[in-house]
Amino acid sequence: MPSSAEPTILILIGPGGAGKGTLARHLVEADPRVWLSRSWTTRPRRPGEAEDAYEFVDRERFLVRVAQDGFLEWAEFLGNLYGTPVPEPPDGHDILLEIDLQGAVQVLDRVPGAVVALIVPPSEAHQIERLRRRGDTEAHVAARVERGRAEIEAGRTVADHVVVNEDLESSAAELLSILGGLRESRAAD
Ligand code: 5GP
């Protein structure tokens, strides 16, 4: 298959509360050629969280899919399993993944051309506010902030781009321009 037919993979990583999920949904709405993968997780659905935010499954079902080699990557994050099903985007679409750092490292191993954008909150105060707003318990907020510090530090070593998510519109515009550049360079191959 010529390389120009291969979809681009853009991976969003970053700490919980950085706004990755909102950004990802915004990108899909803004660009019809972006296909967002829906992850599987064993984490219970949060109150008020969309039913289709993930494929919510129990550990047993998750591990059956692991055994079937049905994930592009999967990882354990704060006690729950998360995985990206082997992607099957429609023709002409690029793949957007919103996953953690361990997952991004696995994808880069399998698909070295994948591009990683690290999304960081403008401050820890912003991050904590976002985490509280979505209903995380205080213990979870503290664990995610702590874990987030490590994600940002290690994320910088694998990221091709770092986006400080102060304003949704401008962060989305930055990511769309990154995607546009990737498509241009792919078309020129
Ligand atoms: P949350 O529980 O806040 O929805 O997600 C926790 C972390 O897991 C976030 O960093 C999120 O990006 C990551 N995550 C979501 N889906 C996947 C996935 O399919 N694989 C991996 N490795 N991480 C994921």
List the structure tokens of 2. 């010529």
Coil, helix or strand for 76? strand
pLDDT in tens, 82-95: 999 999 999 999 99
DSSP for 27-47, please give it.
HHHH-TTEEEPPPEE-SPPPT
pLDDT in tens, 59-73: 999 999 999 999 999
Mean pLDDT of the 18-34 span: 96
| For ligand 1, atom 2: residue with the closest CA | 43
Domain boundaries, the chain: 9-37+93-188
d(CA 10, CA 8): 6
> How high is the pLDDT of residue 5?
63
Residue pair 163/118 in contact (Cβ under 8 Å)? The answer is yes
> How high is the pLDDT of residue 3?
44
List the structure tokens of 128. 């904590």
Mean pLDDT of the 96-107 span: 97
**Ligand 1 centroid from CA 89, angstroms:** 20
**Ligand 1 centroid from CA 169, angstroms:** 23
Residue pair 17/148 in contact (Cβ under 8 Å)? The answer is yes
From the CA of 40, give the closest atom in ligand 1: 19
> How high is the pLDDT of residue 185?
87
Is 28's pLDDT higher than 50?
yes
**Ligand 1 centroid from CA 185, angstroms:** 29
Is 172's pLDDT higher than 70?
yes
CATH superfamily of 9-37+93-188: P-loop containing nucleotide triphosphate hydrolases (3.40.50.300)
pTM of the predicted model as reported, rounded to 2 decimal places: 0.94
